[in-house]
Amino acid sequence: MPLTDSTATSPPRRRCFPLMATLMVFLWTPAVGLGGEPEVRITHSGSWTIAESENFRLVAQNSRIPLREVAEQCETLKTTLQKKWLGQSSNRPWLPVCEITFCSTLRDYHRALGSGVGTSVGCATINYDQGRVTQRQIHIRLDHEDWLTDALPHELTHVIVADRFTENRIPPWLDEGIGVLSESDEKQQERFKALQASLRRGHKYSWEDLFRVRSFPPANYRNAFYGQSARLVDYLSRQGKSPSHLLEFAQHAEEHGYQAAYQKYYASEESANLSAPLENHLPHNVILGMSQERDQSSLVD
């Protein structure tokens, strides 16, 4: 679905997590206690169960998932992901809180969001007004095995980094690259293989085109978009700089161009040009990994 700009008068930003054709082992990781579990209040309204914690309001209908533990997990995840991508966790509670609606079926999911979200597993909706976030909303499908380990952290990451981009829109490559890198190792491996397959078919973005993406990519370029975005964020994250350095780079790049931003934030004498390290390190590494499996000539058709 389109990734649209958002202002006070435009539609909210939506990021939806696509369904991958795989079965993930359902892993339930209980929130770490140590006597410091977040306080969670459980109430019921008809067939709905509501769990409220400091930063979240979880709602589910006729659901058997343990909402209290999921709310605790969300609080822990929020702290972890804020430290990872913003460099620090915030002591200020979210206002408004992040509402997470759990949908039992794809039909319920479409009823809540419309059929435009396709078969995605999760969707984050964020709205802004005058430089502040006025809505934090996540919808998660429970009929897919990986919702807890992949879709939930992915969508929650969108909500977290949105706090850093209230004035300017976060570039989609950064938003989705960070989202992918918040997923489980198994899912990231799956995406890496999907990227390799996409490159073998010749479906690849030039880096300049990747930076310019503003709407949801066509289906045959989706794996390249998510995969290349994740590799790019991973590469920049490994340059010995802080997470906030990466976000500042992206913001500067959107305003002044990527080459200028790269020279200001990352370039060394050996790699003063942005496209050189990206081409030399990222796709080359991908292709090296592929060449171990098959003839290199099959990669460039």
Q: Which positions touch Zn ion (CB under 5 A)?
A: 15, 176, 179
CA nearest to 137, candidates 150, 155, 116: 155
Query: 46: Cβ–Cβ under 8 A, 6 or more apart, which residues?
Result: none
Smallest gap from Cβ 161 to Zn ion, in A, equals: 11
226/262 with CB nearer Zn ion: 226
15/68 with CB nearer Zn ion: 15
Smallest gap from Cβ 125 to Zn ion, in A, equals: 12
Rounded Cα distance between 12 and 7, Å, is 8
52/155 with CB nearer Zn ion: 155
The answer to whether the beta carbons of residues 230 and 181 sit under 8 Å apart is yes
Smallest gap from Cβ 301 to Zn ion, in A, equals: 30
109/262 with CB nearer Zn ion: 109
Smallest gap from Cβ 103 to Zn ion, in A, equals: 17
Smallest gap from Cβ 17 to Zn ion, in A, equals: 5
- Crossing angle of helices 275-291 and 222-237, in 10° steps, is 110
Smallest gap from Cβ 40 to Zn ion, in A, equals: 26
Q: Is 240 left (phi over 0), alpha (psi -120 to 50) or beta?
A: left
Residue type, 269: E
179/277 with CB nearer Zn ion: 179
179/283 with CB nearer Zn ion: 179
Exposed e or buried b for every residue in 45-60, given b needs 16+ CB within 10 A?
eeeebbbbbebbbbbb
Rounded Cα distance between 195 and 191, Å, is 6
The answer to whether the beta carbons of residues 74 and 117 sit under 8 Å apart is no
DSSP state of 148: I
15/139 with CB nearer Zn ion: 15
Smallest gap from Cβ 160 to Zn ion, in A, equals: 12
DSSP state of 285: H
31/152 with CB nearer Zn ion: 152
Helix (H, G, I), strand (E, B) or coil at 217: coil
Smallest gap from Cβ 15 to Zn ion, in A, equals: 4
Q: What share of the chain is helix, strand, coil (3-state, %, to 5)?
A: 45, 15, 40
The sheet with strand 98-103 has its strands ordered as 13-17, 122-129, 132-141, 98-103, 56-61, 48-52, 41-45
